[in-house]
Structure 1
């Protein structure tokens, strides 16, 4: 029998991280130990901590875990917490329905010429409605995590759309692709919650849209292009060195439909794009001659022996060309590197 836990906010965050890590590594024994400890722990007054730490949502996901024992234990725990939420909501509604106590006015005192000394009045106690409103916040936060139906969320809620699995197509390859893409989008949404704020993000619908456009683009799930596109998307969406790509998809900077057709080089991060641009620049400069490279790089050219007749600059060069018979002097073709003026003389 596991020992009960004190479900503070820090403890709930730590337990949520342990559950997430155990799910990723498929450690069923660790999952059962954590669920057993949560089952014997007192949750009265701790529902808000469970909601803010995402612990309730993680336990809800475990109801569909591949291990039957883990799934059954998580279902029992979720039902127990849901009963606690319903009981809290019911008590809150009962308190709110109680009419406030009316205070009868006192009989008027006889008029006295001398004004009596008055003592400061004590502050009036809070009304029943105010107490009910204060106690309802805990139940509202917890019920948004474990409710069966869609619940409107407040600005302090840590997620905006209830998690759901992707729709089945009957094709095992397509279903597996949808599930993997859904996991990538869900992991990216959890890492970029501060950028999403109150924006609604249905990661299951995003995975379905991407997979449908991949089928339309490549003509089915059996072709090599479909599988190659799937591998490229999973790699780039899960790449921790390229957080800008998944963030751009979730925040709407990149359209989901474009993922099926966009170039793979466009999925790369900013560092990779800068490195590619640098390599292209170096390759271009390697093909230049000395004069072109100096002009392209902005380096100063040495002064020549001729002066430009247009800008009077000494940054000039010339070559000698034999344009006439051998006994005639050569023709000097001159170029100004400052203003690109060209002239010739014999």
Structure 2
């Protein structure tokens, strides 16, 4: 059995225990210890999403030993991220900024790296192979950018039990920095991009996205550019696929099962190249409803 297959097998067992609210701490501890003995790599970690499963199990468990082993696993896996110095920040630097609207001076706490090189890294070097770097995001005194960072950080904090995960403020700073670097301005496009990140990260029905960002499985550079479809939860993506298939089927039915006719004129393109179908949508004593499809421009309408 390959490493990936073994991790998937253990992950499924843990998920089953979470779903069944199992209290078999000895079995859980054995599974976590097996994971600890497996030689994990970044590829397997990202493919199996075992980090999320272990973290969910940690939050669901009441056993101190299980919680401790789970935390240890998550911290160990974070070291697999190829992001240079993983020691994170140990000091705190205070940056003062002056609010242009009222002249008040506000203090912003920010983590400072151990070595000067971590501060000098460019935004392009903050992510290697799609993994999050632990270096601190660049400073800014722009009130709009600071507010956006605050909103992103609060969205990431919606998840409870952040032990063993990334620092929401630092990750939010990186996300905002990538968005700002793309537009080089705090214009409408910049604000809309930030708003869409905040909305999706705050979504209580999509905790997977939030945890992937906090665990570093989705790098700040990637989340800064993801589309709404890419950020959507698995349930939402499945629902969209269902609606897309339904639309394709409806289109197929209109063009293959209907009757071609020039009796109807399209109100959109003015052509009479149409196909129509009739369905009994009301009571049996009512006339059938005619659905018309324009073969020229794809317009649809109901003819009563």
Query: Which one has more relative contact order, counting CA pairs under 8 Å at least 6 apart?
Result: 2
Instruction: Flag whether TM exceeds 0.5 (same fold).
Output: no
TM-score of the two chains, using structure 1 as the length reference:
0.32
